[in-house]
Amino acid sequence: MLSTKLLKATAACAILFAAQGAYAAVESCSGVINPGSIPYDISTKVSNTSNCQILSPINGSQNDDLALINLTGFFSHTDWLLDGKYDNMNSAGGTDGSDLFNFSGNNVSGSYAYVGGSPAPLDVMFIFKDGNNTNLVAYLLNKPYGTGTYMTPFTDPPFPLDGKSTTHDISHITVYYRKGDDGSGNPTGDVPEPATLALIGLGLLGIGKMRR
């Protein structure tokens, strides 16, 4: 039999996780690097966006798989879906695998245009990936989605780039989106994540045993 104290702790933890979500940490896209009090701001590297976040730690060099994206909870959402990538980027351009956007440009700068039609997704974000001593940078797009430009966000600061580099090229840009529960761009109510449902159930079980 579980002790009363253990049951209380289990119930409290389950309720806390259900309420707050098991998000990974993110860093601000603007601030000051200490020591030295060096200011940085990469929030404007992509136009027509409303928010920007960097996956923590800032030099973690993570790959942007869907599980990590939703575990992180970028912009407080854990139901992101993968659209496609602007990949194989070099000085001449890249390979556009996105259905929602057309990209043009290279691994330093370029432009994008929404071609996804209507109904549009609830939310769209671009994830930028580089390599060593950087981490994923996410930009949340403004609605309605239209056209815009991008520049590499991988600058020093905030990233501790190798050698005397002050800017690194983009490896690829991945497009993620959210849609309504009916498959359209219109919300029909939030559906709890399976992990959240499990934690809620664990919490209720613990409360029930406490009462008995």
Condensed to tens digits (0 to 9), the pLDDT of residues 6-17 reads 344 444 434 333
Q: What's the pLDDT at 23? A: 65
Q: What's the pLDDT at 210? A: 46
Q: What's the pLDDT at 88? A: 96
Domain edges within the chain: 43-187
Q: What's the pLDDT at 24? A: 80
Q: What's the pLDDT at 199? A: 44
* Measured torsion, CA atoms of residues 132, 134, 135, 140, in degrees rounded to the nearest 10: -140
Q: What's the pLDDT at 41? A: 98
Mean of per-residue pLDDT scores for the chain: 83
Which helix (DSSP H) or strand (DSSP E) does residue 176 occupy?
strand 172-178
> Residue-wise over 33-67: b if at least 16 C-beta within 10 A, else e?
eeeeeeebebbebbbbbeebbbbbebeeebebeee
Per-run averaged pLDDT (10 residues), the chain, 212 residues: 43 39 82 86 98 97 96 97 98 97 98 96 98 96 97 96 92 94 55 46 47 46
Q: What's the pLDDT at 197? A: 45
Condensed to tens digits (0 to 9), the pLDDT of residues 97-143 reads 999 999 999 999 999 999 999 999 999 999 999 999 999 999 999 99
Q: What's the pLDDT at 33? A: 85
Q: What's the pLDDT at 182? A: 59
Q: What's the pLDDT at 205? A: 47
Q: How many CA atoms lie within 13 A of 173 on its CB side?
A: 37
Tell me the C-alpha distance between 160 and 115, whole Å: 36
